[in-house]
Each structure stands twice: as structure tokens, then as C-alpha cells.
């Protein structure tokens, strides 16, 4: 936890909020935010610097039955976050698309792991793991992301 606090650097926000109303029932309201993210993953065969835009779709989860505090489901897509090998200049990609459930609070620090690999045929066989850490603020009424940024780092548990 300390490591994450020390390594996190707030990034100037550049938000594109897209609200989409799904056509099919139930009429869940989802919103999508594009969050800038960057950082370096150390390791072998080379360290990789990632940058790009993470797409975070949030869906508000309410609990009308028992009045539990609302939650939010986040779908985090890193397709548009690419890496460059610091030694070779090779391109690295991630196909990560993860869903996580969190309690809805005004500000949350959310960390997911994600795989990445060289952008070459068969590159998946040499996939490695990295961390994407987001510091996000939320609209407590709608569950929409209202601000934040992210960093990429190496797992060091």
C-alpha cells in the first residue's frame, strides 16, 4: 500500500465522458470515462514504458431491497494503452478488459493487474504482468467517474 501511495502521480485530467443508455432492459445507466495512464514496468527481457488512455465504464449498482450502500461496477479496458521497450523500442500491447466491483465512494484508489506482451504474432506466449493503479473520483448520485488518472507499475508483492 505504501508503495502505491508513493508512486502515484496525479495526472492532469483529460476526460471524455460518454453516457450511453443501453437499448435493452434493464435500463441500467452506464457511463464511460477515458483516463490517461502512464508508467514503467521493470523486468526482463526489458523494461517497458506504457502510456495511453484507459477506458473505464461504470455502472451504478443500487440495492433497493435492503438499502445497502450503492456500489459501482467498473469495466476497465486497456486496449488503447501501449508500451515501448526501453531497450529495443519494441511495441507492447495489452488486451486487458477487467471488471471489478467497488463500493461507491467519492474517491477510490483502484488497482488491477493486467497482462501485456510484445506486439508480434505469438507474443502472448511471453506475456508478463503489470499493475494499473487509478485514483478516481465519482459522482455519488450516478456512479460516473468525474476525475482521476492512472499509473502503470511493476508488481512487487
Cis peptide before 123 (omega within 30 of 0): no
What mask, x for binding other proteins by CB under 8 A, covers residues 7 to 46?
A: ---------------xxxxx-x-x----------------
Determine which residue in the list 46, 71, 139, 140 makes contact with other proteins, applying CB under 8 A: 71
Closer Cβ to other proteins, 17 or 68, answer by number: 68
Q: Is 14 exposed, middle or buried (0-12, 13-18, 19+ CB in 10 A)?
A: exposed
Whole-number Cα distances in Å, 48 to 24, 77, 119, 130, 154: 41, 19, 12, 10, 10
State yes or no: residue 140 binds other proteins (CB under 8 A): no
State yes or no: residue 129 binds other proteins (CB under 8 A): yes
Contacting range for other proteins; rule: CB under 8 A; set: 11-19, 53-61, 78-86, 144-152:
53-61
Amino acid at each position: 500500500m505504501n508503495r502505491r501511495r508513493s508512486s502515484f502521480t496525479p495526472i492532469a485530467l483529460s476526460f471524455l465522458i460518454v453516457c450511453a443508455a443501453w437499448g435493452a432492459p434493464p435500463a441500467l445507466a452506464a457511463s464511460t470515462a477515458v483516463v490517461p495512464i502512464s508508467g514503467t514496468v521493470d523486468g526482463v527481457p526489458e523494461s517497458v514504458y506504457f502510456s495511453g488512455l484507459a477506458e473505464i465504464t461504470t455502472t451504478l449498482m443500487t440495492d433497493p431491497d435492503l438499502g445497502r450502500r450503492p456500489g459501482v461496477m467498473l469495466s476497465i479496458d486497456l486496449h488503447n494503452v501501449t508500451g515501448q521497450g526501453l531497450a529495443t523500442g519494441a511495441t507492447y500491447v495489452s488486451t486487458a478488459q477487467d471488471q471489478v466491483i467497488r463500493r461507491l465512494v467519492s474517491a477510490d484508489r483502484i488497482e488491477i493487474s493486467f497482462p501485456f506482451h510484445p506486439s508480434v504474432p505469438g507474443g502472448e506466449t511471453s506475456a508478463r504482468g503489470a499493475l494499473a493503479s487509478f485514483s478516481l473520483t465519482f459522482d455519488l448520485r450516478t456512479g460516473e467517474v468525474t476525475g482521476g488518472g492512472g499509473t502503470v507499475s511493476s508488481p512487487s508483492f
